[in-house]
Structure 1
């Protein structure tokens, strides 16, 4: 394994230090914890927290800042942060209006974030949650009961973050979050596995001429494997699956996210996006916003995912609202 690391047991701590040193005007940390927090805490607003295992950068710490998250809890690579760490984040960012946890649907994340919310409640902090389950590929997987939470989570951060800045209450944010999640569909595919920095091993095996459709962001199995082909063919396969689940009608608006899983280059992503827009034009829907790039990766995995978010007027306005983070 050739990776620019030092002590494999200290990777996340060094990453957190490096991020804060790179963006001291935007980011801070909770002392002695791998928790990134917004530099200028805003009093009187609902605080938003997300996080999970590291290895998906820029998610989630890259979305901490004005108009998005107030804190990101960084677990070890592909490992959920403990409840005590999540509780430390809750206490750091609570400003009296309550705290909303945005949790990807993985069993470890749900257990630890929920436990932290219960502990915070005993200390008088009101905590509620939304659970993102945008991955349409499989119903249950290695670490999940129900559908997994993947790249669409970033759009939940953006919309709820904007709403929180505008003064939405905790209950209003929960209702909005569940509406967004209901309209959010994602599916991905892999060209090659990632190498897990902390172990030096690949997360799964693929033959040189083989791809996996519908895999998870930790290398969990997808729907099937097939032979390598052209970009347009894979774009069409994912498009059809996502479209059939999205309940989008002619004339309605979509936000589209084309996400690299880590290794896939901008050249490849823009080729995918080019054909994707052609397919959507044939369906006579309006693409109101497009995002292309690294939003939720899987270390150095080769591959990409596509996300559709069906928009109403409220969601579109919030998606376009001002934000100031290092990665969005």
Structure 2
């Protein structure tokens, strides 16, 4: 294992100390717990949006806490859920009088702990709503049980924008739901990654082997086989996405081409070009394309492709400026 770390067991806390030291004007933590990550610029009267998840996916999850996006994040260890107590303490810190939306990925441990935090908030008369991202098409035929992956970015953008417009709690939830209903993702891995406290790869792939549908924690995909070209990967991915969520000729989408941690930006743009060619041939309009790292898996090589079908309301939300230590959109 070659990593720039101190002790493996301190990986998450050492990372957080570095973030707080570098960006004290933007983020802070609840006193006594580094893993209760909050905006430093709370806005009175605004719905607070809280996410949470394991370390190892930056900029997901905590990287989207900031102006125009989220207000807090419960931070778990590498690939581990944050505790209910952490989520509750974040909730008390960022709640600003208009209620809280819990917006996070569709994973069992996260669901259990966010539900427990919601119950604790209810005892304090803090109103909450919850919604999970579940955009990974290849993870399950049933949309309700799909994993939440990079497509949650569009839920963050739409809910964050509606909250910044001082929408009500139910309006912010509706914005997140609208993005969820119109977003789908397909991903694939070329290499495994190494969890610091484990010290070895979390799965194995051959030298010329890849995994289609592999999850961001190493969950099994739909096939392992020889590495395909960018055009071939785009073709298979877009067929899967459009079969699951048909988009008519003339309709508009946003595209997100996401790197999993060790894929060069050059490769992501090659893949993005392959995706765009397919969309143009089908007469599907591309409103905006986002290329880069939005939801990673440590140093895993690979990528995911997300599409989000948009209307004029969603375009306005997606275009809204945001600023966090990890992501800025002018």
Query: Above 0.5 in TM-score?
Result: yes
- Displacement, 1:250? 1.0
TM value normalised by structure 1: 0.97
Separation of aligned partners in 1, 2:246 and 2:263 = 29
- Displacement, 1:10? 1.2
Q: Does 1:124 align with 2:125?
A: yes
User: Does structure 2 conserve the Cα–Cα contact (< 8 Å) formed by 1:58 and 1:294?
Assistant: yes
- Displacement, 1:29? 1.5
Separation of aligned partners in 2, 1:73 and 1:324 = 19
Q: Which moved more, 1:240-249 or 1:122-131?
A: 240-249
Separation of aligned partners in 1, 2:41 and 2:257 = 31
Q: Does 1:295 align with 2:321?
A: no
Separation of aligned partners in 1, 2:249 and 2:63 = 35
- Displacement, 1:247? 2.1
- Displacement, 1:157? 0.8
Report the aligned-residue RMSD.
1.4
Separation of aligned partners in 1, 2:40 and 2:93 = 11
Separation of aligned partners in 2, 1:217 and 1:140 = 18
Counterpart secondary structure, 2:8: coil
1:247-286 correspondence to structure 2 within 5 Å: 247-286=246-285
TM value normalised by structure 2: 0.96
Separation of aligned partners in 2, 1:237 and 1:248 = 16
1:1-328 correspondence to structure 2 within 5 Å: 1-33=1-33, 34-139=35-140, 146-328=145-327
Separation of aligned partners in 2, 1:32 and 1:279 = 51
Counterpart secondary structure, 1:275: helix
User: Does structure 2 conserve the Cα–Cα contact (< 8 Å) formed by 1:214 and 1:221?
Assistant: yes
Counterpart secondary structure, 1:212: strand
User: Does structure 2 conserve the Cα–Cα contact (< 8 Å) formed by 1:213 and 1:223?
Assistant: yes
Separation of aligned partners in 2, 1:140 and 1:234 = 20
Give ranges in structure 2 of 5+ residues lacking alignment: none
Separation of aligned partners in 2, 1:326 and 1:21 = 12
Separation of aligned partners in 2, 1:157 and 1:288 = 18
Counterpart secondary structure, 1:81: coil
